[in-house]
């Protein structure tokens, strides 16, 4: 006779009597199993789910005894009640490994009661042995149903958390502190409370790996390194990170480690971090700062703190169409041509300014001959019509370079 799940499976009267004996003691056995789970699994002790676990164990043991009495194998649909319990385990942070381990603990406790019946009743050893396979089938089916429903509940929870986090971000950017209780609770769990210090970070990521999702990869890694909320938003990743325990430098180092971790997965990330702010009404301002800091990286795999930018860096990174129109066509053409050819002249000008317009020191920094430096400066002056000995001309030229270099090409 077939013994597929749900198929008929004959049991003698002694086995059915044993199943009825266990059935009559379900509450007692379930509490004993739950006590054993509590003793062995710390993750369960921290939940306050004792009564829920007792109810779940009673349900599992009920499948065992009912299927014996009905003389059939257990079926997956016998465990439909597991779905709600799985959702509770996910919500309380119990791992799938511990969830399945709890099934095994329950199996051991149930078998100890079966053996108690055998010891107290003459000639029941063969009956107990005939039920070993059936108990194993019950736990196997229960574990399979538990794993499936647990993973489904986990997916629902993650999706719900992502939606709530996005709703929180949208509220804050609109100038509203979240008022819906579930959003307030999500903010609290993330360590974000109004009046406490926070920063906003913006991450732009790309990947060389086929089929990769760099934004989701970046979110996973950043969430591992940082507290707070990290939310995909308009082709970027936006994070709200509490900073009460971190200096800007320490936070930057943590983010830099995340960028390095991403690099091992062939994901390149540029991350800008805002100034520290207090009060969620400043979220939109903090986002702008983080975006400007990220813009400054120009795609480099680095971390940029907004506070480390100069006023000049900030001004030229703002999307100001008027400032762009003020760049002379002659300068715009020169800058575009140089950018397409490796930016040699822009690099030369930048070094020249960084060394207080001292050509010899700039040449040394660039590791080129001073005559090469003078030649390049001469070419810049010739092409732009600017006198590189005049501070005003140099500042205007540098501004033009910064502004034109940020234009989309």
What are the pLDDT tens digits along the chain (409 aa)? 334 455 666 788 888 888 899 999 999 999 999 999 999 999 998 888 999 999 999 999 999 999 999 999 898 889 999 988 988 888 888 899 999 999 999 999 999 988 888 787 776 677 777 788 888 889 889 899 999 999 988 888 777 778 888 889 999 998 888 888 888 888 888 888 877 889 999 999 888 777 778 888 888 888 888 888 999 998 899 999 998 766 777 888 888 888 888 888 788 889 999 999 988 899 999 999 999 999 888 788 889 999 888 877 777 776 567 777 888 888 889 999 998 998 899 999 989 988 999 999 999 999 999 999 999 999 999 999 999 989 889 888 988 888 887 665 5
Instruction: Give the helix/strand (H/E) hosting 271.
Output: strand 267-273
Q: Cβ contacts of residue 149 below 8 Å, gap of 6+?
A: 82, 83, 86, 87
pLDDT computed for residue 1 by the predictor: 35
Asked if 82 and 142 touch (Cβ cutoff 8 Å), the reply is yes
Domain at 357, CATH number:
1.10.10.2840
Instruction: Give the integer Cα–Cα distance in Å for 249 and 305.
Output: 9
Regarding whether 299 and 224 lie in a shared domain, the answer is yes
Euclidean distance between CA atoms 58 and 137, whole angstroms: 17
Same-domain check for residues 228 and 300: yes
**Final residue of a structural domain among 285, 309, 333:** 309
Residue-level pLDDT at 3: 42
**Number of structural domains in the chain:** 3
45 in the same domain as 95: yes
Beta bridge partners of 204: 270
Long-range contacts of 184-190 (CB under 8 A, 24+ apart): 186/161, 186/229, 187/229, 190/165, 190/227, 190/228, 190/229, 190/240, 190/242
- Among 134, 157, 180, which residue terminates a domain? 157
Q: Which of 230, 25, 39 is nearest to 116 (CA)?
A: 25
Predicted pLDDT of residue 29: 94
Instruction: Write out the two tokens for 378.
Output: 């001469």
* CATH number of the domain bearing residue 90: 1.10.490.70
- Which pLDDT score is estimated for 30? 95
Q: Which residue has the tokens 């070993």?
A: 132
Contact yes or no for 6/69 (Cβ under 8 A): no
Containing structural domain, residue 221: 198-309
pLDDT at residue 6 in the model: 53
Token code pair at residue 306: 């907004």
Residues in the chain: 409
- Which of 246, 276, 309 is the C-terminal boundary of a domain? 309
What does residue 77 show for φ and ψ, rounded to 5 degrees? -70, -10
Please report the pLDDT score of residue 101 as a whole number. 93
Q: How far is CA 120 from the centre of its chain?
A: 55
Pairing state between β 267-273 and 229-233:
unpaired
Q: What is the pLDDT of residue 248?
A: 72
């Amino acid at each position: 006779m077939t013994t597929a799940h749900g198929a008929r499976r004959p049991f003698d009267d002694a086995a059915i009597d044993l199943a009825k004996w266990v059935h009559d003691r379900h509450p007692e056995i379930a509490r004993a199993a739950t006590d054993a789970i509590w003793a062995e699994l710390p993750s369960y002790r921290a939940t306050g789910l004792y009564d829920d676990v007792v109810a779940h164990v009673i349900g599992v043991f009920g499948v065992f005894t009912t299927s014996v009495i009905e003389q059939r194998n257990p079926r997956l649909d016998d465990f439909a009640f597991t779905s709600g319990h799985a959702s509770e385990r996910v919500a309380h942070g119990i791992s799938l490994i511990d969830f399945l381990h709890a099934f095994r603990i329950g199996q051991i406790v149930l078998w100890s009661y079966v053996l108690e019946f055998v010891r107290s009743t003459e000639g029941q050893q063969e009956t107990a042995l005939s039920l070993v396979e059936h108990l194993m089938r019950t736990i196997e089916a229960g574990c399979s149903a538990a794993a499936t429903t647990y993973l489904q509940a986990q997916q629902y929870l993650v999706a719900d958390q992502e939606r709530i986090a996005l709703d929180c971000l949208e509220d804050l950017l609109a100038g509203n502190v979240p008022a819906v209780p579930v959003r307030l609770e999500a903010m609290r769990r993330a360590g974000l409370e109004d009046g406490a210090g926070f920063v906003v970070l913006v991450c732009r990521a790309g990947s060389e790996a086929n089929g990769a999702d760099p934004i989701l990869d970046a979110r996973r890694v950043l969430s591992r390194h940082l507290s707070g909320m990290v939310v995909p938003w308009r082709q970027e990743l936006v994070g709200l990170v509490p900073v009460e325990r971190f200096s800007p430098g320490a936070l930057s180092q943590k983010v830099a480690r995340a960028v390095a971790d991403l690099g091992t997965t062939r994901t390149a990330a540029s991350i800008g971090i805002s100034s520290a702010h207090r009060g969620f009404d400043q979220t939109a301002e903090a986002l702008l700062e983080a975006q400007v800091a990220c813009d400054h990286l120009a795609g480099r795999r680095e971390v940029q703190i907004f506070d480390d930018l100069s006023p000049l860096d900030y001004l030229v990174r703002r999307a100001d169409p008027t400032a762009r129109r003020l760049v002379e066509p002659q300068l715009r053409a020169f800058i575009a041509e140089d950018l397409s050819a490796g930016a040699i002249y822009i690099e030369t000008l930048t070094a020249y300014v960084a060394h207080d317009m001292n050509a010899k020191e700039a040449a040394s920094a660039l590791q080129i001959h001073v005559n090469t430096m003078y030649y390049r400066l001469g070419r810049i002056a010739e092409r732009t019509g600017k006198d590189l000995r005049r501070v005003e001309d140099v500042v205007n030229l540098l501004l033009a370079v910064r502004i034109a270099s940020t234009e989309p090409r």
